[in-house]
Amino acid sequence: MSTTRIDLGLPLTIIELLARISSIASITFLILLFLGEALHPSEISPREWAGLLFFPIGVMVGLMVAWWKEGLGSAVTLGSLLAFYLVYGYLLRNHIGGWAFIAFASPGLLFLVHWLLQNTGRKHAMG
């Protein structure tokens, strides 16, 4: 019985590069947004803190962790985005419109795809 090994070298490298570059862009843009808004923590309500905990804080932490631990970082990023929509949007009944939140967290999806493909490639190479 022969096994076929698919070489994912170049596609994996491209996905990893896109994930890293887009994560830098997302984090930088989010930081610039908050610096430009002159964030005053004393003026933020507890309901708004619930949203900020997940987005952008949780998303940015996840993107930073993904540079070293892709699986964990992507889980934190995507979990924070999901929690933002569930807690801030659904439970606290805030209107969340547009795709901007998903766009900023999308590098987490790229990190997840890279991690999955890399681990799948290792298992096939060993088997």
| 34 band by pLDDT with thresholds 50, 70 and 90 | confident
Long-range contact list for 12-19, CB < 8 A, 24+ apart? 12/114, 12/117, 12/118, 12/121, 15/110, 15/113, 15/114, 15/117, 16/114, 18/107, 18/110, 19/66, 19/107, 19/110, 19/111, 19/114
Question: What is the pTM for the complete model shown?
Answer: 0.85
Rounded to whole angstroms, how far apart are CA atoms 9 and 84?
35
pLDDT tens digits along 62-110 = 999 999 999 999 999 999 999 999 998 888 888 888 889 999 999 999 9
Residue 47 corresponds to which amino acid? R
Determine which of 9-13, 54-58, 109-113 has the lowest per-residue pLDDT on average.
Answer: 9-13
